[in-house]
A = this chain, B = another copy of it.
């Protein structure tokens, strides 16, 4: 019933739709500005900037895990950063999210990565419980910090 496979360039419109649905779930619909062209260029060229697994349930797109490799200067090893994990609401409760995470963990181990990491919204208790049940732990001392948009341009102009 469930098939997990690496996404191909022909899957870009499905990936785009899933990313937008995830942003809506996170109350951030307006933040999902990437176009299909962006995703095609950055995910499927010679120098892919991300990788994507698609979960299909009886042939229908049910969810995705989108990740890229990062680096840990403490471990001196590659890691995986999971940027997006999403299962469409109508396909939940079938173990699809877990199967996607397990597959990402396998890819991490196959690439000798020291860890997989991602971000979770602090109000998303079901997700937090789910991740912890799979052995993940929250790095509660650490807070993400970001500079973007006009603030980034301003910072770059400083001396």
Contact = CB atoms under 8 A, between A and B. Distances in A.
B138 A144 contact: yes
Copies assembled? 2
Nearest to A155: B105
A9 to B, nearest CB: 15
Interface string A30-57: 0111110011001000000110000000
Contacts of A131: 145, 147
Contact of A33 (B38, B70, B76, B142): B76
Interface in A36-93: 38-39, 42, 49-50, 66, 68-78, 81, 83-84
**Residues of A contacting B: mostly:** mixed
Contact of A39 (B73, B140, B146, B147): B73
B143 A155 contact: no
B146 A139 contact: yes
A31 B115 CA distance: 13
A145 B138 contact: yes
A151 B101 CA distance: 12
22 contacts: A23-B74, A31-B74, A34-B74, A49-B71, A68-B70, A81-B81, A105-B152, A106-B156, A115-B152, A116-B146, A117-B144, A117-B145, A117-B147, A118-B144, A119-B143, A120-B143, A121-B142, A122-B142, A134-B155, A135-B147, A136-B151, A138-B144
Interface of A: 19, 23, 28, 31-35, 38-39, 42, 49-50, 66, 68-78, 81, 83-84, 98, 101-102, 105-106, 108-109, 113-123, 128, 131, 134-149, 151-156, 158-159
